[in-house]
A and B are shown apart, each in its own frame.
Chain A
Amino acid sequence: MQPPPPMTMIPDPADARNATFVFLQEDHTLGNALRYMLIKHPKTHFCGYSIPHPSEAKMHFRLQSSDPELSAKDLLHEGVDSLKEMLHHIDSEFTKELARFQAAQPTQTGPASQSQSAPIDKE
Chain B
Amino acid sequence: MEKKLPAHLEEQRRFVHVGEEFPSDATTLSGADTFQTLGVTQHWDLKEFQEHFKFEILRLTPDEIQFDLIGIDPAIANAFRRILIAEIPTVAIETVYVENNTSVVQDEVLANRLGLIPILVNPALLQDRKPGDAPTDQDTIVFKLNVKCTRRPGIPEDSANEEKFVNSSVYSGQLQWIPFGDQQARFGECPPRPVHHDILIAKMRPPQAMELQCFAIRGIGKDHAKFSPVATASYRLMPRVRLAKPVEGPAAESLKEACPLGVFDIEDGHAFVKNERNCSMCRECIRSVWRDRLGAEESAKLKDAVSLGRIKDHFIFTVESSGILSPETLFKQALEILMAKLERIEGDLLQL
Minimum Cβ distance to chain B for residue A30 (Å): 5
Give complex CA distance A101, B79 in Å. Answer: 24
Question: What residues on B are CB-neighbors of A77 within 8 Å?
Answer: 346, 349
Least distance between B315 CB and chain A CB atoms (Å) = 12
Q: Which residues of B contact A15 (CB under 8 A)?
A: none
Cα(A73)–Cα(B73), bound, Å: 24
A35 to B128, CA, bound (A): 30
Interchain CB contact under 8 A, B43 and A87: no
In A25-72, the 8 Å CB interface with B consists of: 26-30, 32-33, 35-37, 39-42, 44
Q: Is the CB of B50 within 8 A of A89?
A: yes
Select which of B55, B78, B220, B261 is within 8 A of A93 by beta carbon: B55
A3 touches B344 (CB 8 A): yes
* CB contact between A87 and one of B56, B78, B87, B338 (< 8 Å): that residue: B338
What chain B residues lie within 8 Å of A7 (beta carbons)? 344-345, 348-349
Q: With A40-B44, A101-B60 as given contacts, are A120 and B66 in contact (CB-CB < 8 Å)?
A: yes
| B184 at interface by CB-CB < 8 Å | no
Residues of A within 8 A of B344 (CB): 3-4, 7
Chain B residues in 8 Å Cβ range of A91: 332, 335, 339
B333–chain A nearest beta-carbon distance, Å: 11
The number of chain A residues with a CB under 8 A from chain B is: 52
Question: Which parts of A71-87 form the interface with B (CB within 8 Å)?
Answer: 73, 76-77, 80, 82-87
Interface centre among A1, A37, A97 (most CB of B within 10 A): A1
Tell me whether A93 and B75 are in contact (CB under 8 A).
Answer: no
Q: Mark B50-86, 1 if CB is under 8 A from A, else 0.
A: 1001111111111000110100110110110011001
A8 to B58, CA, bound (A): 42
Q: Is the CB of A29 within 8 A of B66?
A: no
Question: How far does the alpha carbon of A105 sit from the alpha carbon of B342 in the complex, in Å?
Answer: 35
CA separation between A93 and B335, bound complex, in Å? 12
C-alpha spacing A122/B66, complex, angstroms? 12
Residues in B324-352 with C-beta less than 8 Å from chain A: 328, 331-332, 335, 338-339, 341-349, 351-352
Which of A2, A29, A97, A122 sits near B79, CB closer than 8 Å? Answer: A29
CA distance A26 to B315 in the complex (A): 24
* Cα separation A87 to B49 with both chains bound (whole Å): 11
